Chains A and B, each alone.
Chain A
Amino acid sequence: MRKYLTKKILIYILTFFFAVTIDWAIPRFMPGNPINFLISRFAGLPDSVKVLQSYFTQAFGLDKPLWEQYVNFWKALFRGDLGISIYMYPQPVAKVIARALPYSLVVLLPAVLLSFAIGNRFGAFVARKKRLDNFALPVFYTLTASPYFWFGILLAWIFGVVIPLFPLAGAYSFGITPSFSWNFILDFLHHWVLPFGSLFLVMLGGWAIGMRNMIIYELEANYSRYLEALGSSQRLIRRYAYRNAILPQVTGLAIQLGTVVAGALTTEIVFSYPGIGYILMQGILNQDYFLIQGCFLFIILGVLLANFLVDIFYMIIDPRIRKSYSGEV
């Protein structure tokens, strides 16, 4: 068990190292020098070009040798210094991201957990029930095949324009300031429903299909046939099948995390929801490279952490991993 964890942690540390290196290297080795490109936008103002040139040279530390730039990048990172945002000048990138993070989490976490729990139950329920299956499967396929943000647009159109039930943009109404009052919480939830719903439904389709296929596979397995021959109830057999089928689904959760996070980013843009995805889009539109770099690092960090939690969870639910690494099997 210890060995399993150390191996995993090692991979995560290496991944983080690799990601930071990419984040550092790309603006420096990309063809076409992004800094010149950035400055060329201010070509009309010769004075500011000079100032900007020296600012960027210093900010990226381009006057120093490469290895020193690299070391400094790490040092700044550990101090929590991600540079200054150009788009929201003069706020530090770390602060901009810290303000956006809660909004992303409040949509993403419930969507992932609930869709996983409900999607799996639903998929297991549908498997091998011909009528229900024929109806549910096309629905699941459509859900899982749609781009997250498009499904958001679709929900926004149906429940925001055709039947105006929910607001279309923002995390709360313009007239309200965030506080712990009922008024604000209700308003916040009202804005939260559509972004959450679009993420939740698209993911639900994927989990349900995966579970349905796994259950069918498990019901063909020898232990299921044996149980059937012994005359045990369908309910019991399905319960055993479910316990086996959930394992690859948990692995799937770890693999899917990256896609899910990407989906959440684009969904935030549709609803102008002020999370990481929204500010990342602003960073891209305004060519705010520090902000883009910062968002990238935060996304990686989040996905790594989530992967690690999934690994621990997997260890808890699969006794084979626990036992094989501690030498009991």
Chain B
Amino acid sequence: MTRKEFVHFFLKNKKVIFAICVYAGLIILALVGPYLSPYKDPLAFVGPGYQPPSKEHWLGTNTFGQDIFTQLVYGLRSSLFVGLLGGTLATVIGLLIGFVAGYKGGWFDEILMMFTNILMVIPTLALLIIIAAYLPYRGVFIESIIIGFTAWPWTARAVRAQTLSLKTREFVDLARITARKPMKIIFGEIMPNMMSYVFMVFILQFGGAILAATGLDFIGLGPTRGISLGIMMQQATLWNAIQLGMWWWAITPGAVITLMVATLYVMNAGLDEVFNPKLREM
């Protein structure tokens, strides 16, 4: 696909446009939200508790009188950060292992894939729980690193399969005859041919990291200081926000996460249509 064609289908695809708009909105909210809010510290007690959304508190307050909107925009920041760092890390590790295992083959491949399969069966959250439980002080950064290092296996397996099919093509043989180094062949010949796939993998890993972090925060293994969307929901559950009818505290943070992740899925479906002409005409 030429670049012009790509841009044409990219900008004509409603799903892609929708996703870009939503994300632009979310990023702007995360960047300027803290300055819009009249309250600077998300953990400060700024008003009476149990307040439904009002002029002073746009999304109400929680039991302790903390402002939900302020917490939400700070939580959004940390979610985007985890998605970006955790997602990038998982994608990069998955790509490297997938490329090397697929291209080198033989014993190297067997061992790497054995390791990948083992990690794939172990539930990521269980692994995260056991690691995070023993770290007395955790930040968003550490959380993203742990998530990145546990989320790569399916990517590695998928990339390996793609590499296996690409490496028997003639242009790769040609590169090999000219005595190019294996790493140069991988990144110069094989990777450019699956860039669309890599991009979609990254989007899925981005969403996966956000969801994993939310789950971890919710069971009490998130950042030990600061705020995140998962921590908001954990506190809401621990303090019976639902029983008290405080939907603005318990429901809103999860709604933002669902919007973020669902938009990523829609983006992926749209990109699939851009890259794969068979899916385009419905």
Contact = CB atoms under 8 A, between A and B. Distances in A.
Interface of A: 11-12, 14-15, 18-19, 22-23, 26-27, 30-32, 34, 37, 130, 133, 141-142, 144-151, 153-154, 156-157, 160-161, 168, 209, 216, 220, 255, 257-259, 261-263, 265-266, 269-270, 277, 280-281, 284-285, 287, 289, 292-293, 296, 299-300, 303-304, 307
Contact of B218 (A27, A269, A307): A269
B115 to A, nearest CB: 9
Nearest to B266: A141
Contacts of B136: 32, 34, 37
A14 B247 CA distance: 46
A266 B128 CA distance: 14
Contacts, number: 162
B276 to A, nearest CB: 10
B135 A147 contact: no
Nearest to B207: A145
Contacts of A287: 133
A145 B130 contact: no
B229 to A, nearest CB: 9
Contact of B220 (A262, A284, A304): A284
Interface stretch (B3-11, B39-47, B118-126): B118-126
A95 to B, nearest CB: 21
The listed residue with most B CB atoms (<10 A of its CB), out of A23, A257, A265, is A265
Nearest to B118: A15
B265 interface: yes
A146 B121 contact: no
7 contacts: A30-B134, A34-B134, A149-B215, A154-B254, A209-B265, A255-B154, A263-B215
A37 B237 CA distance: 27
Interface stretch (B29-37, B95-103, B255-263): B255-263
Contact of A285 (B220, B242, B255): B220
B122 A284 contact: no
A-B residue pairs, 6 tightest by C-beta: A150-B254, A258-B123, A262-B125, A145-B262, A145-B261, A146-B258
B220 A161 contact: no
B254 A146 contact: yes
A311 B123 CA distance: 17
Given A14-B118, A146-B257, A280 B265 contact: no
A133 B282 CA distance: 10
Nearest to B234: A269
A153 B251 contact: yes
B55 interface: no
Contact of B121 (A148, A151, A307): A307
A303 B278 contact: no
A145 B265 contact: yes
A262 B215 contact: yes
Interface residues on B, range: 35 or more
Given A154-B254, A289-B133, A262 B121 contact: no
B211 interface: yes
B245 interface: yes
B279 interface: yes
B117 interface: yes
Contacts of A303: 121-123, 126
B90 interface: no
A220 B130 CA distance: 45
Nearest to A40: B136
Contacts of B156: none
A129 to B, nearest CB: 10
B124 to A, nearest CB: 6
Contacts of B112: none
B256 to A, nearest CB: 10
Given A255-B120, A255-B154, A269-B219, A32 B135 contact: yes
B233 A153 contact: yes
Given A157-B251, A255-B154, A142 B262 contact: yes
A280 B219 contact: yes
